[in-house]
Amino acid sequence: MLTKLNNDLNIDYPRAVLFDTDNTLYEYAPANNAAIEAVYLKANNLLGLKRNTFFNLYNKARLQIKKDLNKTASSHSRLLYFQRMIELLGYNAKLLLALDFEQTFWRTFLSNAPLFPNVYKFLNLLKESDIPIGVITDLTAQIQLRKLTYFGLEDTFDAIVTSEEVGADKPDPKNFTLMLSKLKLSSMTNIWMIGDNPTSDILGSKKLGATTFQKIHRGIKIGEGEKSPDVIFSSYKDLETFTRVIISN
């Protein structure tokens, strides 16, 4: 399914196409659920933590870190979550355990995060058409670059911006202006932004003049009002078909 919601907008040949990563190139929830379950099993084995105790402590630690660090890349750090969780258990410093939990989390996460069908084909269409491609993503650079490399996309993108570089998560406009600088573009006009989040991806780029595409799948709500995307789509195959028509005109 692909639906144009803004019928007043002419969608022209894109000067560049920008992507979010999480929940845009792959589905986030199954990977995250599998990863935290793997850490729980390890915590149960090493520390004897029961399920309710583990998840209560993990959620408490996560909320504390997010509150302390606000909308920054490090506010998403699983290492910080696990370090704080261990501290909440009464341990001052179990450094190897925190690192072990983090490695277990991301190793399991990646093995449960296949790309959406037809992502490769759509990216190849853009590359074959000499359309610049960028990634604008929250979280720290190390894990986001690791994800893209794991997906086999290390040579695909012309520029990557993480919120760690910028010092603030999307929708902070510095994420988008840094991408423009990297691609040597002066404005977001006729630039497509593809993402799942109505605030971070849609509102953030729309305010700067981008044409916005929201990836829809289970658990994703379509943005409304000022967060309303220009186009919604559920399948990269449909997006590829749509794009081929525009490129050929």
Query: Could you give the 3-state DSSP secondary structure of residue 20?
Result: coil
Kind plus residue range of the DSSP H or E element containing 16:
strand 16-19
Same domain, 81 and 202: no
Same domain, 41 and 148: no
Same domain, 33 and 107: yes
Q: 20 catalytic, yes or no?
A: yes
Cα–Cα dist 93/87, whole Å = 7
pLDDT level of residue 4 (50, 70, 90 thresholds): very high
Our CA dihedral for 202, 203, 207, 210, rounded to 10 degrees, sits at 0
Is pLDDT at 1 greater than 90 in this prediction?
A: no
Same domain, 126 and 177: yes
pLDDT level of residue 181 (50, 70, 90 thresholds): very high
Is pLDDT at 115 greater than 90 in this prediction?
A: yes
Strands (E), 75-177: 133-137, 159-162
- Boundary-marking domain end, from 58, 92, 111: 111
pLDDT one-digit tens code per residue, 34-61 = 999 999 999 999 999 999 999 999 999 9
What's the maximum distance between 2 C-alpha atoms anywhere in the chain?
64
| Type of residue numbered 68 | D
| pLDDT on residue 249 | 81
Of 240, 233, 199, 204, the closest CA to residue 216 belongs to 233
pLDDT one-digit tens code per residue, 141-170 = 999 999 999 999 999 999 999 999 999 999
Question: How many structural domains are present in the chain?
Answer: 2
The CATH number that applies at residue 199 is: 3.40.50.1000
- Boundary-marking domain end, from 111, 144, 170: 111
Of residues 71 and 93, the one with the higher pLDDT is: 71
List the structure tokens of 232: 């919604």
Catalytic residue selected from 8, 12, 20, 238: 20
| pLDDT on residue 212 | 97
Cα–Cα dist 85/53, whole Å = 11
Is pLDDT at 94 greater than 90 in this prediction?
A: no
| pLDDT on residue 93 | 77
Same domain, 56 and 179: no
Quickly count: other Cβ atoms within 10 Å of residue 176's Cβ: 25
Catalytic residue selected from 22, 169, 196, 230: 22
| pLDDT on residue 169 | 94
- Boundary-marking domain end, from 64, 80, 111: 111
Same domain, 34 and 147: no
Same domain, 234 and 127: yes
Angle at 193 (CA atoms; ends 189, 197), nearest 5 degrees: 135
Same domain, 62 and 101: yes
**What are the residues whose beta carbons fall under 8 Å from the beta carbon of 246, sequence distance 6 or more?**
11, 12, 13, 14
| pLDDT on residue 47 | 93
Average pLDDT, the chain: 95
| pLDDT on residue 148 | 97
Same domain, 94 and 215: no
Same domain, 240 and 166: yes
Of 194, 192, 202, 206, the closest CA to residue 222 belongs to 202
Of 184, 191, 142, the closest CA to residue 163 belongs to 142
Q: 130 catalytic, yes or no?
A: no
Q: Which domain holds residue 95?
A: 29-111
Cα–Cα dist 176/164, whole Å = 13
Quickly count: other Cβ atoms within 10 Å of residue 32's Cβ: 18
| pLDDT on residue 9 | 87
Same domain, 21 and 33: no
Cα–Cα dist 125/128, whole Å = 5
Same domain, 13 and 93: no
Average pLDDT on 115-122 reads 98
Strands (E), 98-218: 133-137, 159-162, 191-195, 211-215
Average pLDDT on 125-132 reads 97
